[in-house]
Structure 1
Amino acid sequence: MTMPRTLYLFCSAAPPVFDVAGVVEAAQADGWDVCLGLTPSAAHWLEGSLDGLAVLTGHPVRFDYGRPGEPDVWPEADAVLFAPATFNSVNAWALGLTNSFVIGVVAEVIGKGVPTVAMPCVNAAQVRHPAFERSVETLRAAGVTVLHGEEAFIPNQPEEGPPEGYPWRVALTAAARVLTP
């Protein structure tokens, strides 16, 4: 029997995070063992669902660093998918600002060579900020597959409300693809 591959699914606080249970189920149907990590704000948004998400994944939902010396409660990742990744998360990650668990882990997996995919969830005004494109370029140069543009998430205009149709399937397909040579 083949052991499932382990996917670290990391999410920032953006509207698509409310669909994460369905995304976990889709990833599991694709053969992934899913470990869910959230930024502190995303954990706050989903606080009423954290216990159910832990049951769904079979792993604790993590949003904070553990104490030094404590054993890791998750298996090693075969791949990482960071979606939705907000403007703040993308820029903090590219700069190596690891003040949150999720950003700390994604910064470290670059150095470990773990295949990593990110799909931002930003608005069109944020995309025009010069830091964003530099951050995307930095992450791509470090080996991260960043799904940004026509083939992935297309930003909406500010004040238009939540984006419609966040392309979770595109992100899950890309996560599977980074494991295939």
Structure 2
Amino acid sequence: MTTLYLLGSAAPPVLDIASVIERAQARGYDVCLGLTPSAARWLEPGAAGLERLTGHPVRSGYKAPGARDVWPPADVVLFAPATFNSVNSWALGLTSSFVVGFAAEAIGKGIPLVAMPCVNSAYARHRAFGRSVAELREMGVTVLYGPGGFEPNLPGERRPGGFPWELALDAVDALAP
């Protein structure tokens, strides 16, 4: 079975992560869920259910040096939703959160990576964001942003049809070994 690391940051689509896990499992993936600390706080009331669903601990922090890894090795990674902060931190190599640190290291390990940002149009206009998306793409990350991927909405606006999770899962399918 192919192991998918599903990494998410604190943006509203992360609240639907259980259904995304189920859809990924229906496609044949063994899913391990990693979250930024803020996303973990948002999902904390349902964390035990997410662990039962995946069969793995939900991780939001680095393991202690020398500690056994509680997840099987990743075959492919999906970082979604990836916030403005996560995308910029990742592109700059600032690894203060476990999920950003793992994603940064995965580039060097050659693990296939898909990222789908979730930012509003105000964040998207910040010059650093465009540079970060370009930098990640240059490092080999499939970034689903712009036409055919995530397109920013106005601040506070709900996206008709929701977050395009199926596009992200299709991109994972295309990269999975």
TM-score by length of 1: 0.95
1:129 aligns with 2:126: yes
Match of 1:147 in 2: 144
**Partner Cα separation in structure 2 for residue 58 and residue 171 of structure 1:** 22
On the 8 A contact 1:15/1:163 being kept in 2, the answer is: no
User: Percent identity among equivalent residues?
Assistant: 64
**Partner Cα separation in structure 1 for residue 176 and residue 155 of structure 2:** 35
SS at match of 2:32: strand
TM-score by length of 2: 0.97
Match of 2:159 in 1: 163
Kindly state the Cα deviation for residue 85 of structure 1 after the two structures are TM-superposed. 0.2
**Partner Cα separation in structure 1 for residue 144 and residue 127 of structure 2:** 18
Paired amino acid for 1:46: L
SS at match of 1:159: coil
Kindly state the Cα deviation for residue 98 of structure 1 after the two structures are TM-superposed. 0.4
CA RMSD in angstroms comes to 0.9
Match of 2:11 in 1: 14
Match of 1:69 in 2: 66
Kindly state the Cα deviation for residue 153 of structure 1 after the two structures are TM-superposed. 1.4
Paired amino acid for 1:69: G
Show structure 1 runs of 5+ residues with no match: none
SS at match of 2:115: strand
Deviations 1:69-99 (A, max 9, x none): 0010000000000000000000000000001
Show structure 2 runs of 5+ residues with no match: none
SS at match of 1:44: helix
Deviations 1:7-63 (A, max 9, x none): 000000000001100000000000000000000000000000111000000000000
Paired amino acid for 1:163: R
**Partner Cα separation in structure 2 for residue 179 and residue 172 of structure 1:** 10
Give the aligned length: 176
Structural mapping, 1:26-45, within 5 Å? 26-45=23-42
**Partner Cα separation in structure 1 for residue 27 and residue 43 of structure 2:** 24
Paired amino acid for 2:36: T
**Partner Cα separation in structure 2 for residue 71 and residue 125 of structure 1:** 42
Runs of 4+ in structure 1 over 6 Å off: none
